[in-house]
Amino acid sequence: MNVADIDVLSNRMYAEGVPHDQLDLLRADRPVHFQPVPDERLMNEAWVLTRHEDVLAISKDTEHFVNAHGLNLRGNYTDDEDRHLLNLDDPEHLRLRRMTNKGFTPRVVRRYTEHYHDMAGHLIDEAVAAARAQHDNSAVVFDAVNELSVPLPLLAICELLGTTPDDRDQLVAWSNAIISNDDPDYSPSDEAREQASEEMAAYIRAMYADRAATPTDDMASILVDHVQRGELTPEEYGGYVALLFVAGNETTRNNISHGLLQLAKNPDQYELLKTGDYWDSAVEELIRWAAPVIYMSRTVTKDVTYKGHQFRKDDRVVLHYAAANRDPEVFDDPHRFDITRDPNPHLSFGFGAHFCLGAHLARLETRCLLEQFVARIESFELAEPESYVRSSFISGIKRLPLAVHLRQPAMV
């Protein structure tokens, strides 16, 4: 393949997963790569960085590279409704982030451990029971995405925001249409995406009115209080809550889905996981492998030269986390799924000021699901091939049918 012909930005190139063969070529031969984008729903061109050290360097350089104008390549975001953490830079970004920072610290997140264990166990038990009823006990087959990966993080974020779990199906549909909007199964047109955004915005406005009238101790009420004190605009409130809904469920969903997929494909790693000796390193390897947000983009603030390449003002620069997570200069045998990998300096949560606010929550949810899965499932394999979200931005799995073999009760 000619490096000049490589396309790692068009959505269609991700219909069967991340094109790591092309990314490997770029990382080796053209780690700072200027690419036209032959996708009418995206911007025309962008720089692509695929090496770990380059993604880190640009993430640290907030003088020349900013988040403002958009976190992906769908266009420039300038409206008030687009003012959320990922589209802002300091000091505005820090002002908003501080409003909920305390709710995502390791100390606070650890309080949810037992509850999330119970929640994950209940979801697995429900999936097994439903599969048995459907297949007359001849097989235990279920879609791990719909039964496990989707509901666990969504239920968790709904609890933090104080919304009813009865709304979860609608919230999933809106979230899919907004963030995975280039997959026709989720959002067949820009109009469908806009409709989903408008419907979610109306839902969030109703949340605001409810919390303003009857405050509680949930995170939505905390943000309403900031609005009432003049520290947050209503538009910023709407963007903040929408981001928590969407990012709070999409990223962990994809961590879990990719993790279960790799454990199904690598039964030796599942056997290691069952020993109980590798929970922390397993979670990090799942997250490295998933790279749930494939890339984030930065906008160049003024002309600057980087490693001999001239970046012009307003150029877009893609920080390709999925590629950086497979950099052989940083990770031994990077395309091997290894739950004992340590150290594991992956960039799946970003780096610097925009490091993922909910990283500790995502780790906990992923670990709780794994622990409860191991407690119930002796072995498992793919019942059918997985299917991927067609998106160069979100590394999503749409379906993951698993055939599971339950652990036998211990003899007393």
Coil, helix or strand for 66?
Answer: strand
Residue 133 has pLDDT above 90, yes or no: no
**pLDDT digits over 150-169, tens only?**
999 999 999 999 998 889 89
**pLDDT digits over 239-249, tens only?**
999 999 998 88
What is the greatest pairwise CA distance in the chain?
Answer: 72
Structural domain includes residue 88: yes
Residue listed under structure tokens 């779990």: 165
* pLDDT value for 412: 42
Q: Give the other-Cβ count within 10 Å of 270's Cβ.
A: 23
Residue 80 has pLDDT above 80, yes or no: no
* pLDDT value for 136: 64
Q: Is 333 left (phi over 0), alpha (psi -120 to 50) or beta?
A: left
Structural domain includes residue 294: yes
Q: Average the pLDDT over 314-333 and give the result.
A: 98
* pLDDT value for 135: 72
Residue listed under structure tokens 């340590």: 342
Structural domain includes residue 412: no
* pLDDT value for 11: 92
HSE toward the beta carbon, residue 384, CA cutoff 13 A: 11
Contact at 8 Å (CB) between 155 and 165?
yes
Q: Average the pLDDT over 126-134 and give the result.
A: 92
Provide the domain limits for residue 45.
3-406
Structural domain includes residue 287: yes
CATH of the domain at 212: 1.10.630.10
**What string of H, E and C letters represents the secondary structure of 103-171?**
HHCHHHHHHHHHHHHHHHHHHHHHHHHHHHHHHCCCCCEEEHHHHHHCHHHHHHHHHHHCCCHHHHHHH
**pLDDT digits over 343-389, tens only?**
999 999 999 989 999 999 999 999 999 999 999 999 999 999 999 99
How far CA 341 is from CA of 34, 44, 114, 284, 333, in Å, comes to 33, 38, 27, 8, 10
Structural domain includes residue 65: yes
Mean pLDDT in the chain?
93
* pLDDT value for 115: 97
Structural domain includes residue 411: no
How far CA 47 is from CA of 42, 61, 97, in Å, comes to 14, 16, 28
> b vs e for 282-297, b when ≥16 Cβ sit within 10 Å of the residue's Cβ?
bbbbbbbbbbbbbbbb
How far CA 185 is from CA of 31, 387, 399, in Å, comes to 33, 11, 12
Structural domain includes residue 216: yes
Q: Average the pLDDT over 98-119 and give the result.
A: 94
* pLDDT value for 40: 77
How far CA 172 is from CA of 152, 180, 190, 378, 397, in Å, comes to 12, 11, 18, 30, 14
Q: What is the percent of the chain with per-residue pLDDT over 70, rounded to a whole number?
A: 96
Cα 339–chain centre separation = 20
Indicate the pLDDT class of residue 47, thresholds 50, 70 and 90: very high
* pLDDT value for 400: 99
**pLDDT digits over 277-306, tens only?**
999 999 999 999 999 999 999 999 999 999
Number of domains in the chain: 1
Q: Which residues pair with 379 in a beta bridge?
A: 405
Structural domain includes residue 255: yes
Q: Average the pLDDT over 392-402 and give the result.
A: 96
- Alpha carbon distance 318, 299 (integer Å): 9
Residue 193 has pLDDT above 90, yes or no: no
Indicate the pLDDT class of residue 30, thresholds 50, 70 and 90: very high
Contact at 8 Å (CB) between 252 and 362?
yes
Residue 138 has pLDDT above 90, yes or no: no
- Alpha carbon distance 106, 117 (integer Å): 16
